Structure 1
Amino acid sequence: MLVLMIPGALALLLFFYIPIFGNIIAFQDYQPYYTIAEAPFVGFEKFLDLIDDSRFTLALRNTMIYAAVQLVLFFPVPILLALVIDSMMSARLRKAFQSIVYLPHFLSWVLVIALFQQMLGGAGFINQLLSSSGMDPIPFMTNSDSFALLIVAEVAWKDAGWGMIIFLAALAAIDQSLYESAAADGAGRFRRTWHITLPGMRPVIVLLLILNLGSILTVGFEQFILQRDAVGADTAEVLDTYAYYTGVIGGDWSMGAAAGLAKGIVGTILVLLANKVAHLLGEDGIYRGRPQ
């Protein structure tokens, strides 16, 4: 088992931990023709520039709105899917449904956006039906006011089935004798779900909620940049696209790195706070608290 972990551990080291040291350019006036050792040190100047940058403020506001909407509307979807699949009596039907709903996870965002465009775009299937019925088409893909709901729908279609697998594993770990005892006492399906299933899933739900809070400011680069032209730059500007356009396109590499580092620091603080709340509620969270 330890040998099987080696490729994953190496990938984590090479592509996550070693690049962390590159965040030092957020404290420098870095340009690509410098080495990191040669770049002038400017301290927190770039972070102060972020605060004064209206584009960063816009990106931060949009990111928080989209992240909050996804957390509220998308997070329960994998749980509901897991409960639906677990309630199916036929094992063959359960496996078929599970395969169908998590298959979109393996599709690229380019293909996902293209499929939504074919269904909901101006010349898409839904608007063609509306037009043929004498109704005005609805700008699903270009309406900035409903863009947050569109984002959630795309994420749910693509990743809800994948997240469902974790909750199915949590359901499999619940002692089946509890259901038998509850059924013998006259408890219906709803009461068994409420008093046995959900409490049995609670540690996993709390753990994933904490991890989601840690990545709450990472709402998706590809998904937003692919729809930027359709809804406008102001609507689709999030922290990831801000870092890209400011650093890579605009040439201010240090400012882009500062934005990414600020996002990581906020995510870490949210994880620690959420984990502390989990301990106060009697859950282990992502790590156990200090014994009292």
Structure 2
Amino acid sequence: MTEPVFRETSAQPRTESVPLSHLSLELGHLHMEDLQEGPERLRAHFVAVRPWLDAARAGVAALTGGRTLRLSTCFLIDDYFTRFSTPAELLPQVLAAAEEAGLAIDYVARESGCAVAEDARLAKDVQLAESVMRRLVESPPPGSNGFRPPVSQTGWLTNGERTPALRTSAAMTATVWKPPSETGAVRHSIHMDVELWDEHDERRTWSCPFLAAVWQLARLGLLRDDGRPVPHPHLWNSDGFPHEWDALPPLLQLTPSAAPFTAYFTCTVLPTRFLPVEHAVRVILDQVHADSGALQQVAQRSGREGIDIPAQIADRAFYIFPPGL
């Protein structure tokens, strides 16, 4: 006879749903060394991006079953690795350059918010990167014996089996060299090791690929903190921007009537130099055990709309690498 199981309702936080656009289109993911080149560099960037907007729109519109496309745009500012200028000086330049190219930026996010996001509703900071790291479930390669330390200890994540380390102890037989291999490789392997963080003076710095993976999960509406969606868009209705980056909310909604920030699919327009980073992002996303409640909500919503959503999270994100960007 099966014994009944009793649980406190308060011990099972409800997973709040998020509104979903069909597509979250990222118009730029630039670092401060790009931005410090000034308004001309920004204008050139958005002019190069503009022709690809229609291509991204058409690609996702084909999946919506003839419904009016819900599309929101976003722009990510790197204030995590380096800080340049101030929001009061820089953001008007970015918005003006986009407008000159015929583009509108609905949401602006700070990259540092992918590491730690302030939740104004609860007046607390959410350790976003840390929470995603704890959701990593490594895919063990066939025949692995558990010798490799877990990612939580090493800070390295791989998409297959690494080359064995050479044993130098005289008491042990030398290991025969073996090539690395990719789990699920098609004919030939493309093996990758991704550094998720490093530590100096007892301070952890998250890597660019890992923060970019957190950013993708945020745009796909799959991040929760005790059931609450994070980050939460902050509607910006001020006449100006602050003079300190820390005074700027992690995610700003600049267009009051914008479609939702979170979406079924993401499209990111990037220079080709970011291609290795985004390959690493896919390796990370393939091994994230996302919030089951959030995944179920997206599946149910897409089902009602008749939209086919890939089961793999990484397959919900696509990229455009325009020439000359």
TM over 0.5: no
**TM-score, length basis structure 1:** 0.28
Q: Which has the higher helix share?
A: 1
Q: Which has the higher strand share?
A: 2
**TM-score, length basis structure 2:** 0.26
